Amino acid sequence: MEKDCTVFSNGQYTLGQKNGLPFVRIGGREYTLTCHPYEPCLYVADETANVTAVHNSFDPSAVLEAFSEGGKVTSITGREYTALDFCRMVEYAAGKLDIQIDEAEKCLGVFTKKKNPETEKKAEFAPAEEALSTELGRIIGDGAFDDVIRQYPESVVDFCLVKNMGCATGYNAHRSALICASMALFTDADDGESWRFDPGKATAKQIPASDLFTHLGDTAGMNYRKAFLNPPIPNGYTDKDFAKVNAALFPSGTDGLEVYEWSTDWSEYFDEGHEWWGALCLTVYDRALERFAVIMASATD
């Protein structure tokens, strides 16, 4: 492309060309996109000249050309991209030193189609075997917490503990933990069946750590306390039970928690809760333990 232009914008992302160079604007941050044509390798440079190399990726000028004509692009893995998908991939990769395209695509889910002609029209999002193995390596156990949560079999809240990689914090680190937990919670390792999910569609906002434990009467809609204490079918649990679970989940206290609240429109897991009761998705980073607690709930009567 020769002229400066915008080929995609949705309020969160802007993709285009400025001063002759492709760029992506994500929130208030702008990234310049260049490439090495022979590998090929996509370089994502922020305003302070920190550069991420996305290996086996795209020529950004060709990407802009395709999107400006209303088309799509396909990566070396066979993944088809819309302009929004491309922006999400760049957002996930930005800030890392080097990343392979198949790693960066984990933020989108891994796209496959059922071979059965009767169901081929329905797209499925399920982790490929290699990606699943890599991500599940981050799942960690906590015997003390496991012993406590087993005392509450009627709880509709699902928990997943995820090791932090590189002690990263912030939005991208929380998204990475969410992807990992999704692969663990939504996939049946025995037969490969899963709830369909596409965590690339999930959006989030950071909330104060104190809001994580807000009392039922202090907020409308769904929150963590309500999900644990007030499911569609009453479980008889009390505030003392809630405190006991959280003392085991956050044994170093709650002062250093970083919390993101995620949308619930990206997986079939949340469909039952959307009927009327509600759905919940949180990622909580515990700096003291260097781990994420991913907390999800969805239920109906």
Could you read off the pLDDT of 97-138 as tens digits, one per residue? Answer: 788 898 888 777 654 433 333 433 333 444 444 444 445 568
CB 162 within 8 A of CB 138: yes
Of 35 and 38, more confident: 35
Nearest CA among 26, 21, 23, 22 for reference residue 10: 26
Residues 147, 76 within the same domain: no
Position 86 pLDDT exceeds 90: yes
Number of other residues whose CB lies within 10 A of the CB of residue 139: 16
Q: Give pLDDT, residue 133.
A: 44
- For the segment 210-224, the average pLDDT, to the nearest whole number, is 78
Within a domain: residue 294?
yes
Residues 189, 88 within the same domain: no
Residues 200, 163 within the same domain: yes
Residues 239, 154 within the same domain: yes
Position 252 pLDDT exceeds 60: yes
Q: Give pLDDT, residue 77.
A: 83
- For the segment 239-260, the average pLDDT, to the nearest whole number, is 94
Please tell me the distance from the alpha carbon of residue 59 to that of residue 92, in angstroms, as a whole number.
18
Beta bridge partners of 227: none
What single letter denotes the amino acid at residue 270? F
What single letter denotes the amino acid at residue 11? G
User: How many structural domains comprise the chain?
Assistant: 2
Position 1 pLDDT exceeds 60: no
Q: Give pLDDT, residue 125.
A: 40
Distance from the Cα of residue 72 to its chain's centroid: 23
**Percent residues over pLDDT 70 in the chain:** 83
CB 65 within 8 A of CB 72: no
Question: Quick one: tokens of 53?
Answer: 């190399």
Within a domain: residue 130?
no
Residue 179, domain extent: 136-298
Residues 187, 99 within the same domain: no
Position 172 pLDDT exceeds 60: yes
- For the segment 212-224, the average pLDDT, to the nearest whole number, is 76
Q: Give pLDDT, residue 136.
A: 57
Nearest CA among 62, 161, 26, 44 for reference residue 104: 44
Within a domain: residue 116?
no
Output the CA torsion sign for 204, 44, 52, 88.
positive
Q: Give pLDDT, residue 203.
A: 87
Q: Give pLDDT, residue 190.
A: 54
At 255, is the pLDDT very low, low, confident or very high (cuts 50, 70, 90)? confident
Q: Give pLDDT, residue 169.
A: 67
